[in-house]
Amino acid sequence: MTTIEVTEDAIRQTRELRDEFQRFLREYEFGMREVETKISILRDEFLHDHSYNPIEHVKSRLKTPDSIVEKIARKGIEEPDFDRIREEITDIAGVRVTCSFVADVYRLFDLLTKQDDITVRTVKDYIAAPKPNGYKSLHAIIEVPVFLSTGPLSVPVEVQFRTIAMDFWASLEHKIYYKFSNRVPSHLVESLSDAADAASELDARMERLHREAHGVPRKQLPAPAPRVVQV
- For residues 58 and 64, give the distance between their C-alpha atoms in angstroms, rounded to a whole number: 19
SS3 102: helix
What own/partner pairs with CB < 8 Å and gap ≥ 24 does 120-126 have? 121/90, 121/156, 122/90, 122/230, 123/227, 123/228, 123/229, 123/230, 124/229, 124/230, 124/231, 125/227, 125/228, 125/229, 126/229
Catalytic residue among 8, 20, 88, 158, which? 158
* 158 is annotated as an active-site residue: yes
CA torsion, points 165, 119, 65, 38, in degrees to nearest 10? -60
Report how far apart, in Å, the C-alpha atoms of 132 and of each of 43, 135, 194 are: 32, 7, 12
| DSSP state letters, 154-194 | EEEEEEEEEEHHHHHHHHHHHHHHHHTTT---HHHHHHHHH
| DSSP state letters, 23-50 | HHHHHHHHHHHHHHHHHHHHHHHIIIII
Q: What amino acid positions are annotated as catalytic residues?
A: 158
